[in-house]
């Protein structure tokens, strides 16, 4: 979780040169290369039955990264992470279907309401940025649903396949900033660092953690990610949030932890997973 938020903070520092879309495109391209080296996706032979879900998985993965970075361009990191969490939280609640889920849904709605701009919010609460963050959350929800099918079809190599498809989907944004990269080639080192911190390293550590930590505990721990995002934004980006937004983030975190705890006690219900952002 820490590496993902640190990677996002570094990525935001590249926006003045590469733009949000260009940074997202190059970041996911490097991530695809790293995962290809590690997981050898060329050994997979998709069939007609599996190619559709695989393409959907890769497409939403690319759009999720693009939307999240576009959100980061105009709103603080902690807010973007918290709003994006609405997507997987909604999936977890939908699969749980217990009365207590109304509590988690209510907490999430309360937190989101406090973050939405109604003319009296903080200046950083840009409606366009919030829209991009909500779009990233929707893509995250679709990513979870498509990823479940794709992982069943292709195992652990699904991540590498999806990342490659996602990289191709948003590649035009990277091509558009190629001249800036050629003028400042050292930026590729930072892009590579972001790819390692946001994709390759978290994916490896999560696979190790899931072998030793119960799924419910893992999902509950993942609910800390919005707070870590806010802290990373405060430390590295000097993004200081007002008390109202901290309360909103806490409400969404509580809803995420509660939904993960409830879902872990139902057979076949998914806990809130992380994502390779």
- Which residues fall within 8 angstroms of residue 127, CB to CB, at 6 or more apart? 117
First and final C-alpha spacing in the chain: 11
Q: Is residue 201 part of a domain?
A: yes
Q: Is residue 271 part of a domain?
A: no
Q: Is residue 272 part of a domain?
A: no
Domain count, the chain: 1
Q: Is residue 161 part of a domain?
A: yes
Query: In the chain, what's the furthest Cα-to-Cα distance?
Result: 57
The C-alpha atoms of residue 224 and residue 227 are separated, in whole angstroms, by: 6
CB 12 within 8 A of CB 239: no
Q: Is residue 270 part of a domain?
A: no
Specify the pTM.
0.85
CA dihedral 28, 33, 37, 38 (to 10 degrees): -10
When mean pLDDT is compared over 59-73, 141-155, 235-249, 253-267, the highest value belongs to 59-73
Domain span at residue 9 reads 2-263
Q: Is residue 225 part of a domain?
A: yes
CB 130 within 8 A of CB 121: no
Predicted confidence (pLDDT) at residue 202 exceeds the cutoff of 70: yes
Q: Is residue 275 part of a domain?
A: no
Predicted confidence (pLDDT) at residue 96 exceeds the cutoff of 70: no
- Of 59, 116, 118, 74, the closest CA to residue 237 belongs to 74
The predicted-structure confidence for 17-57, as pLDDT tens digits, reads as follows 999 999 999 999 999 999 899 888 888 888 888 888 899 99
Q: Is residue 268 part of a domain?
A: no
* Side-chain half-sphere CA neighbours of 6 within 13 A: 10
Q: What is each CA distance from 127 to 22, 58, 78, 124, 183, in whole angstroms?
A: 22, 27, 15, 9, 33
CB 215 within 8 A of CB 32: no
């Amino acid at each position: 979780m820490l590496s993902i938020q640190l990677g996002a903070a570094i990525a935001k520092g590249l926006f003045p040169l590469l733009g949000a879309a260009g940074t997202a495109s190059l970041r996911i391209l490097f991530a695809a290369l790293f995962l290809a080296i590690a997981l050898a996706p060329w050994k997979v032979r998709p069939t007609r039955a599996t190619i559709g879900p695989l393409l959907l998985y890769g497409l939403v993965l690319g759009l999720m990264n693009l939307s999240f970075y576009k959100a980061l361009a105009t709103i603080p990191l902690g807010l973007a992470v918290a709003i994006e969490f609405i997507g997987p939280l909604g999936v977890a609640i939908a699969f749980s279907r217990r009365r207590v889920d109304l509590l988690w849904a209510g907490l999430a709605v309360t937190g989101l309401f406090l973050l939405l701009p109604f003319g009296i919010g903080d200046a950083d609460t840009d409606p366009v940025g919030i829209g991009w963050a909500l779009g990233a959350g929707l893509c995250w929800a679709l990513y979870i649903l498509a990823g479940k099918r794709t992982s069943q079809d292709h195992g652990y190599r699904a991540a590498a396949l999806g990342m490659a498809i996602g990289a191709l989907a948003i590649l035009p944004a990277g091509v558009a900033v190629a001249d800036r990269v050629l003028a400042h080639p050292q930026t590729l080192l930072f892009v590579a660092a972001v790819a390692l911190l946001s994709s390759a390293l978290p994916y490896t550590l999560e696979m190790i953690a899931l072998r030793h930590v119960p799924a419910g505990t893992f999902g509950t721990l993942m609910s800390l990610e919005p707070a870590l995002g806010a802290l990373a934004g405060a430390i590295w980006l000097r993004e200081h949030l007002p008390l109202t937004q901290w309360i909103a983030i806490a409400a969404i975190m509580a809803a995420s932890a509660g939904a993960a705890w409830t879902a872990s006690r139902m057979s076949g219900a998914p806990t809130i997973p992380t994502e390779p952002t």
